[in-house]
Structure 1
Amino acid sequence: MPTLDRHDDVFVLDLGDTENRFHPDWLTAVHSALDEVDIGLPFTVGMSALVQARLVPQTAHEAMTTGRRYGGDDARTAGIVEHAVAEDAVRGAAVELAAAQTGRAGPTLGTIKARM
């Protein structure tokens, strides 16, 4: 049963163990079924631009042409993500990161994001 918990100014939606569609087993199944390179599905122009803007050329090339999947530490090392933590620390780290941003919430941030 889903629950909504509040941690100060941060709300956390917990879908429960049986409803978590992002369970590692599910992600593995999706990744093996949706490898863009192997099934002949090219990146859209927008997705290609996003990947190339975010990553250094070598990492973008490897990720886009080989279908490589990056685990947490590898993704952090490659500059794909800013944070990587152990599975049991994800919720605490996410709440901490979100709590640090609560003072920035509002119309100005919404406008900035809309224009990005």
Structure 2
Amino acid sequence: MPALERDGDVFVLTLAHADGVNPENRFHPDWIEQVHALLDEVDATEGPAALVTVGAGKFYSNGLDTDYLFAHADRIPEYLDLVHTVYTRLLRFPMATIAAINGHAFGAGAMLALCHDTSVMRADRGFFCLPEVSLGMPFTEGMSTLLLERLPNATAVEAMTTGRRYGAADAVEHHIVGESAAEDAVVARAVEIAAARTATHGPNLTSIKDSIHTRTLAALSVQTGESSFSFGS
């Protein structure tokens, strides 16, 4: 299951399963439950604190669990609403959040990275990509709003409509990630950034984030089954 460690006042949440289950860190419902449980643990801390998330191996996160999705086609709206809860949780998290993008961040995994305050991406390998257009998969209202609010408009349109793969240099240039770092420095740099922001931990930070992400949070709260979302059309 995902694991939690602490580096001083910085919590490091590893999204990967140490036992090799779900090696691409896809959003299986069990994985989502485990991530929320660890975020609960972080959220319960007092005093200065910040959060870094990181994947393992080749992947930060490869997005939706398509095996689960297609095996439970009748639950697609419910499943996507569950995915939204992770986004909402991180957007409102009461401490600084930094994504250490160690490898590929695709689809829902790319959007997960954008739910952090900022990010550091591995310089030499790995892509940020929204492949939905190539897969015949639409974006939910919440996902579209998230992308349009967190990315420059031209970048969002290009990424969403072409499925372009952005390496670290391109991702920095297009303001998708905050900066890049060498493979062996990604986590250390993310922790360094987070450590400088630990004093902001608290409910006031959540209040500020709520005001920043008002439109995105509202869109993510719309139940998929009640929106204009239509999968496979």
**TM-score relative to the length of structure 2:** 0.41
Give me the whole-angstrom Cα distance separating, in 1, the residues matched to 2:3 and 2:142: 35
The residue aligned with 2:166 is 70
Q: Distance in 1 between matches of 2:8 and 2:161?
A: 43
Q: Is 2:127 the partner of 1:93?
A: no
More strand by share: 2
Instruction: Identify unmatched segments of 5+ residues in structure 2.
Output: 26-54, 63-103, 108-129, 214-233
Pairs within 5 Å for 1:73-84: 73-84=169-180
Q: Structure 1 vs Structure 2: percent identity of aligned residues?
A: 49
Aligned runs of 1:35-46 on 2, under 5 Å? 35-46=131-142
In 2: Cα distance, 1:49 partner to 1:74 partner: 22
> How many aligned positions are there?
113
2:3 touches 2:13 (CA, 8 Å); kept in 1?
A: yes
CA RMSD of aligned residues (A): 2.9
Does 1:24 pair with 2:120? no
> 1:9 maps to what in 2?
9
User: So what's the TM-score if we normalise by structure 1?
Assistant: 0.74
Distance 2:5 2:192 in 1: 14
Structure with the higher fraction of residues in helix conformation: 1
| Unaligned ranges ≥5, structure 1 | none
Which is worse superposed, 12-21 or 97-106?
12-21
- Which of structures 1 and 2 has the bigger CA Rg? 1
Closer, same or farther: CA 102–63 of 1 in aligned 2, 3 Å: same
Q: Equivalent residue of 1:38, what SS?
A: helix
User: Aligned partners of 1:12, 1:41: CA distance in 2, in Å?
Assistant: 32
1:55 aligned residue: 151
